[in-house]
């Protein structure tokens, strides 16, 4: 069932997952296409972003954001087109970046919407290199990580939407960059296409030993987006005054219980003290919304000039979004994963 002009498909949270999400945690529903009232705009989803943070929203554990309610549509960033409008700032046909979630149609009062201008060349890039993941990598690296030329930067999920930006921006700033990724293909991509100095496959044996040999000068910035065994390998290699921006912990998102001991919480605090580390969490649009314009201008230039490369991994059809997210959490994606929900063109339905 493709997108249509008369039905609104929505994928709702059917149940809170225990551990890895399953198909049965999602449910496809259909309903009427809503009509905009005064001050409202009707958005049609063209692209939906799939991102690791979505796993967190499926749980009701305390976090930085409200969980999705069971029975409600999954949340998500979207690139949309205006279908009808009662809002003075939006006209039918406008391209708009929104947070309209896993559905074909949504109403908005304009809050949080961003115009993408007439005829954007690659509208879906606003979900990736020019959007939340790119902004996360760029600002976390530069503002918290403060990389200096000659320093060593390590980033995991190196071929992912965030990691690829971190590594490429660090290279532009004169750093040595070592990526970590799941599989030889992803590592080759990071080195051959993205220009990383090195990339280690965390699925191969002895990551700690290989990482130690790859960073003979130690690690000055570790951009944390995975946690788990990768962080364990990084921690002893951090240099004094290293910076650790923390934007995600994908390895732990499906965890159902705390791992067995010994309890290394004190070890981490002691390492923070003796190495004078800065470990800082951030949620990009909470901490840095006021700098999005600055980022976007800089990154558009870098992408246009080919200095930052970007790859998308497109899942076809809203009905395949659940499988797309489940696979993303396992690292099956090759590049930024998005869902093609409907056609670019208006009146194609």
Which residues of this chain interact with a second copy, rule CB under 8 A?
Answer: 56, 62-64, 224, 227-228, 231, 240-241, 246-249, 252, 255, 257-270, 272-283, 286-287
DSSP result, 201-233: ETTSS-HHHHHHHH-TT-EEEEEBSS-HHHHHH
- Residue 156, classed as helix, strand or coil, is strand
Nearest CB to a second copy, comparing residues 151 and 197: 151
Residues 6+ apart with CB under 8 A from 77: 48, 49, 51, 97, 98, 99, 127, 131, 132
**CB of 114 or CB of 283, closer to a second copy:** 283
User: What is the 8-class DSSP label of residue 147?
Assistant: -
Nearer to a second copy, 227 or 343 (CB): 227
Q: Which residues, in sequence order, are CB contacts of 345 under 8 Å at separation 6+? A: none
The Cα 260–Cα 93 span in angstroms is 55
Distance of closest approach, residue 273 Cβ to a second copy, in angstroms: 4
CB of 233 to a second copy, least distance (A): 13
Nearest to residue 182, comparing CAs of 208, 159, 210? 159
Residues in contact with 190: Cβ distance below 8 Å, sequence separation at least 6, in sequence order: 158, 159, 163, 164, 167, 179, 181, 196, 199
Residue 321: C-alpha distances to residues 115, 225, 272 (Å): 25, 22, 39
At 129 the three-state DSSP class reads coil
Minimum distance, C-beta of residue 109 to a second copy, in the bound complex (Å): 26
Name which of 260 and 345 has its Cβ closer to a second copy: 260
Smallest distance from a second copy to CB 339, Å: 25
From the CB of 321, what's the least distance to a second copy, in Å? Answer: 24
Quick one: 15 or 279, whose CB is closer to a second copy?
Answer: 279
Residue 21 or 36: which CB sits closer to a second copy? 21
Shortest distance, position 216 Cβ to a second copy, whole Å:
17
Nearest approach, Cβ of 49 to a second copy (angstroms)?
A: 19
Smaller CB distance to a second copy: residue 162 or 302?
162
Where is 55: in which H helix or E strand?
helix 53-57
β-pair type (105-108, 114-115): unpaired
């Amino acid at each position: 069932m493709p997108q249509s002009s008369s039905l609104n498909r929505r994928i709702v949270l059917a149940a809170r997952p225990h551990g890895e999400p399953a198909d049965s945690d999602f449910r496809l529903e259909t309903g009427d296409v809503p009509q905009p009232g005064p001050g409202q705009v009707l958005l049609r989803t063209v692209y939906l972003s799939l991102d690791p943070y979505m796993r967190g929203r499926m749980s009701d554990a305390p976090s930085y954001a409200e969980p999705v309610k069971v029975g409600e549509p999954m949340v998500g960033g979207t690139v949309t087109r205006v279908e009808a409008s009662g809002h003075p700032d939006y006209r039918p046909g406008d391209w708009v970046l929104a947070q309209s979630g896993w559905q074909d149609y949504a109403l908005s009062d304009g809050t949080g919407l961003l115009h993408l201008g007439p005829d954007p060349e690659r509208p879906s890039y606003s979900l990736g290199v020019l959007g939340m993941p790119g902004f996360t990598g760029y600002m976390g690296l530069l503002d918290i990580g403060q990389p200096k030329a000659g320093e060593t930067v390590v980033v995991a999920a190196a071929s992912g939407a965030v990691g690829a930006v971190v590594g490429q921006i660090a290279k532009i700033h004169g750093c040595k960059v070592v990526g970590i990724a799941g599989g030889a293909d992803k590592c080759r991509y990071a080195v051959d296409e993205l220009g990383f100095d090195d990339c280690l496959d965390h699925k191969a044996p002895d990551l700690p030993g290989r990482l130690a040999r790859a960073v003979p000068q130690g690690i000055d910035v570790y951009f944390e987006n995975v946690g788990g065994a990768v962080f364990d390998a990084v921690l002893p290699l951090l240099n004094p005054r290293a910076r650790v921006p923390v934007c995600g912990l994908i390895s732990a998102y499906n965890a159902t219980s705390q791992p067995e001991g010994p309890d290394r919480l004190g070890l981490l605090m002691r390492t923070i003290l003796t190495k004078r580390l800065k470990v800082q969490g951030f949620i990009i649009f909470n901490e840095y919304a006021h700098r999005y314009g600055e980022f976007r201008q800089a990154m558009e230039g870098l992408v246009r000039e080919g200095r930052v490369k970007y790859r998308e991994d497109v899942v076809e059809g809203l009905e395949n979004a659940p499988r797309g997210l489940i696979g993303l959490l396992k690292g099956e994606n090759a590049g930024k994963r998005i869902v093609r929900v409907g056609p670019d063109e208006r009146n194609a339905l």
